[in-house]
Amino acid sequence: MGKVKRIMDKVLSAACAALLSFMTLLATYQVISRYVFSSPSTMSEDLLSYSFVWVSLLGTALVFGQKDHMNLSILSDRLVGVNKFVLSIFTELLIMFIAIIVFLFGGTQVVGVGAIQISPTLNISMDWIYIVLPISGVLIVIYNCINIIQLIQQFNESKKEGIL
């Protein structure tokens, strides 16, 4: 599982870095075209918006995979042993449930609506933009499964070593 997670981390990190680089170049182009040539580009503005959505949602999946998301550790810091393990599993399952409902089910419905919409400036179907919702949902669920497996392995190792 660790190898799969490392590959996913590298791919998502590279995708986010590429998107951020693209956005930087696009914003620079937009500023130059607007202020130097007095000819603003509406296409670049839409591309920036869509790229921002993609980098945000792919970055969200990456952050959940690395367990770097915001959390309130008031309770988890006070727990030890089985109680901490149960809370960690519950947290992963709760995140997974929300990802399935919001990103997978909700995202799939949004993609369906996007299939009948066309971006006015880019002239592409909006489902190409919205597809990132179910993609990030799948990634979050995969990360949750990996995290749960790792938590179980750590718990079992702790039991074997007599820490619990």
pTM over 0.85: yes
Task: Give me the average pLDDT of each 10-residue run along the chain (164 residues).
Answer: 90 97 94 87 89 95 83 73 90 94 95 90 91 96 95 89 70
pLDDT of residue 164: 59
Residue 118 CA to residue 82 CA, distance in Å, equals 52
pLDDT of residue 28: 94
Residue 125 CA to residue 120 CA, distance in Å, equals 9
